[in-house]
Amino acid sequence: MPSPVTLITGTRKGIGRSLAERYVGLGHAVIGCSRSEPEWTLDGYTHQIADVADEKAARKIVSSIRKAHGRLDNLINNAGIAMMNHSLLTPASAVRDVLETNVLGTFVFCREAAKLMKKNSFGRIVNFSTVAVPMRLEGEAAYVASKAAVVSLTQVLAREFAEYGITVNAVGPTPVQTDLIGAVPAEKIDALLARQAIGRLGTLDDVANAVDFFIRPESGFITGQVLYLGGVG
């Protein structure tokens, strides 16, 4: 079997970087993107500078994958931004940014990837939501709304893409120690962890394990599902 071709968005740092390293280690050809240049490189990994909300950029990335590999097996829509702010203090421009990266970015990458996956009648798409959705986490209205939209997209696209052999699922991590939550006060994180069934921070491996499960060839009968970590939801 040829090595899997895996596209991961938002690989400069955090969860995206760790997933890129993981799947390169497992022998995948990995293509990643972010808005700025990463400070790392890896054999078997190709980086492209792109904003996920730019639909033309998404089209170009998938087109370059078609030319280089002729197929795409996995898409991991990891790129995301968060905003923690009381809604009464949140400007519309910030809401727009969050929706563009998290919702629009996920949508256009799903769309472009599915076109290439469909040729092979096989594909695995994993989107990123968060436990903040079922927790209805106050102080993150725009972020939570954007990640709830990711859940809906996942569920509908699972149906639209089923006939092409493409599954679409989502992971909903708990807080994981990355820059994304760097600005959140410790008491706030502790309060959040206390609402989980298992009250600890998630690790990069916890997230990777859920992604592994969805992209396994054996997971072909699993689609439209959201896997929340830490016993939430």
Partner 1 sequence: MSDQRNEAQEIVGLNELIIECVNDVREQNDIAPGADISPDARLFGREGMFESLALVNLITSLEEAIEDKFDVAISLADERAMSQNRSPYRTIAALAEYAAELIAEQR
Alpha-carbon distance of 10 to 33, in angstroms, equals 6
Instruction: Assess 12 for contact with ligand NAP (CB under 6 A).
Output: yes
Q: How many residues bind ligand NAP (CB under 6 A)?
A: 31
The binder of 97, among ligand NAP, partner 1, none, by C-beta within 5 to 8 A per type, is none
Instruction: Assess 61 for contact with ligand NAP (CB under 6 A).
Output: no
Neighbours of 36 (CB within 10 A): 8
| Rounded least distance, CB 218 to partner 1, Å | 27
Neighbours of 189 (CB within 10 A): 15
| Rounded least distance, CB 106 to partner 1, Å | 16
Question: Contact letters (x/-) for ligand NAP, 86-125, by CB under 6 A?
Answer: ---------------x---x--------------------
Instruction: Assess 51 for contact with partner 1 (CB under 8 A).
Output: no
**Residues of this chain that bind ligand NAP (CB under 6 A):** 9-16, 33-36, 51-53, 78-82, 101, 105, 128, 130, 173, 175-176, 178-181
